Amino acid sequence: MTSTQPHITTAGADPRLAGGRLTIDLDALVANWTFLAEKSKPAKASAVVKANAYGLGIEQVVPVLWDAGCRTFFVALVEEGLRVKAVAPDARVFVLNGLFAEARPVYETSKLIPVLGSDFEINLWTRANAESGLKLPYALHVDTGMNRLGLTVAEALEFAANTREMPVLVMTHLATADEPGHLLNQRQFESFQKLRAAFAGIESSASNSSGIFHAVSNGGDLSRPGIAMYGGEALAGVANPMRPVVTLEARVVQIRTGLKGETAGYGATALLERDTRIAICSTGYADGYLRSLSGSGTPLRNVVHKGGEGFVAGHKVPVIGRVTMDMTSFDVTGLPEASIKPGDYIELFGHNIALDDAARAAGSIGFELLTSLGNRYHRRYLYSGKGD
């Protein structure tokens, strides 16, 4: 009988020496991608693995998604694309962040596909194709309302009417898809349908994680799930249906008692209103646990009064004072003394504290917390291959 227990692989710092650990549930990741792929139908689902697979590791994430049936990946940079190809040689990989002339030889040998979004890039690519005699494929990025990368809709329509060297994919990016009621969504989808008509027969893509939860018929032939695949929220104000993928924990170095009337941390910003038991953990902003999660002493606390929280011994415990480069302190006064000791772990986000709740306490988003994760953690990857 095949075991259903997840296999554990490790990476990063030695667990005996690290001040914190990341547990990455690859089964949950696959389950999330499968859910999003089903929701994307009749479109096919790709996977966005830029920024080192949102901080989780391209080398660990891409193979399990490939095994789950994902065949197309999006990255930001050529270097990331080469890493995808190293673990999934047959994958189709699009590079989002434009084209630099010096990169052309790498495209010729790697079969990566650039996403072009300006006349300059298109001319550079087609001229190189003509000079080399190679008809290397490219994707076309059209700006339908974000004012970032891409041809304007008018430029793209003119290009479609006049070019002989068509792209293999035409795509756009949604600016406000996480806010379902925003008027820009409809305008972008309407522009996208004009593009689909002009580029008839060419694969098209508009839906990111948030876009997948809009009308599927508007989203093109290929969806591009990102944050939702990693467990983050896709839509604002809506219960998150995705499974948590990442658990971040900090290790307790010391537990001390501060007396009523004393202060804690840099700047003496935390005034102790009672005798307070403080758990000092070996994780800080150098590890990606943002300084804005401080319980006091940062500008954000003038607007959002509640800072970050940890979870230990069945209870949430607040950050006290400022998050520092290498350490964060938690108020554990309410816990029984025997329930926490040096060497224990306090969850910073995961199953008990949602990624996006932690991000909101920092005045940020789940994207930033994940992609800020440092390299000093011990990493544990759980994978049974079941994806359920």
For residue range 116-150, list pLDDT tens digits in order.
999 999 999 999 999 999 999 999 999 999 999 99
Give the Cα separation of 128 and 116 in Å (integer): 14
Same domain, 117 and 62: yes
Helices (H), the chain: 26-40, 50-54, 58-68, 78-87, 104-110, 119-132, 153-162, 183-198, 209-212, 355-361, 366-371
Q: Which of 50, 85, 107, 230 is catalytic?
A: 50
Residue 388 pLDDT class (50, 70, 90 cuts): low
pLDDT band of residue 2 (cuts 50, 70, 90) is very low
Binding residue ranges: 148, 325
Which CATH number does the domain housing residue 266 bear? 2.40.37.10
**Residue where one domain finishes, among candidates 182, 199, 230:** 230
The active-site residue out of 41, 266, 306, 316 is: 266
Task: Mark whether 147 and 252 lie in a shared domain.
Answer: no
Residues 127 and 156 occupy one common structural domain: yes
CATH number at residue 192: 3.20.20.10
Whether 317 contacts 273, CB under 8 Å: no
* 223 and 88 co-located in one domain: yes
Give the pLDDT band (50/70/90) at residue 216.
low
Number of folded domains that form the chain:
2
How far apart CA 83 and CA 87 sit, in angstroms, is 7
* Residue 4 pLDDT level (bands cut at 50, 70, 90): low
In a domain, 1, yes or no: no
Query: 206 and 129: one domain?
Result: yes
Is residue 3 assigned to a domain? no
DSSP code per residue over 132-182:
HT-----EEEEESSS-SSSEEHHHHHHHHHH-SS--SEEE---SSTTSTT-
- Residue 3 above 60 pLDDT? no
Residue 152 and residue 211 in one domain: yes
For residues 217-247, one letter each, b for 16 or more C-beta atoms within 10 angstroms of the residue's C-beta and e for the rest, the string is ebbbbbbbbbbbbbbbbbbeeeebebbbbbb
Judge whether 12 and 377 are in contact, CB under 8 Å.
yes
- Does residue 20 form part of some domain? no
Query: What's the rounded mean pLDDT across residues 325-350?
Result: 97
In a domain, 237, yes or no: no
233 neighbors 213 (Cβ within 8 angstroms)? no
Whether the per-residue pLDDT at 215 is higher than 90: the answer is no
Whether 261 and 225 map to the same domain: the answer is no
266 included as an active-site residue: yes
Annotated binding site for substrate: 148, 325
Across the range 353-379, mean pLDDT stands at: 96
Residue 183 forms part of a structural domain: yes
Judgement on whether residues 202 and 325 belong to the same structural domain of the protein? no
- Do residue 99 and residue 219 come from a single domain? yes
Which of these ranges, 84-98, 180-194, 292-306, has the smallest mean pLDDT? 292-306
Whole-angstrom distance, CA of residue 25 vs CA of residue 388:
11
Q: What is the mean pLDDT of residues 33-53?
A: 97
Q: What percent of the chain has pLDDT above 90?
A: 90
Tokens of 45: 């689902």
Does residue 22 form part of some domain?
A: no
250 and 225 housed in the same domain: no
Terminal-to-terminal C-alpha distance of the chain: 18
pLDDT recorded at residue 280: 98
Domain residues for 110?
27-230
Do residues 322 and 265 touch, judged by C-beta distance below 8 A?
yes
Same domain, 191 and 271: no
Task: Write out pLDDT tens, residues 87-124.
Answer: 999 999 999 999 999 999 999 999 999 999 999 999 99
Residue 377 covered by a domain: yes
Among 230, 261, 291, give the residue marking a domain's end. Answer: 230
Q: Is residue 19 part of a domain?
A: no
pLDDT at 84 over 70: yes
Residue-wise pLDDT for 257-293, tens only, equals: 999 999 999 999 999 999 999 999 999 999 999 999 9
Percent above pLDDT 70 for the chain? 97
Please indicate, yes or no, whether residues 253 and 359 belong to a single structural domain of this protein.
Answer: yes
When pLDDT is averaged across residues 200-220 and rounded to a whole number, the result is 89
User: Which pLDDT belongs to residue 386?
Assistant: 76
Is the pLDDT at 1 greater than 60? The verdict is: no
- Tell me: pLDDT of 11 over 70: yes
217 pLDDT tier (thresholds 50, 70, 90): low
Last residue of a domain, one of 163, 197, 230: 230
Reply yes or no on whether the pLDDT at 22 is more than 70. yes
User: For the residues 249-256, what does the mean pLDDT come to?
Assistant: 98
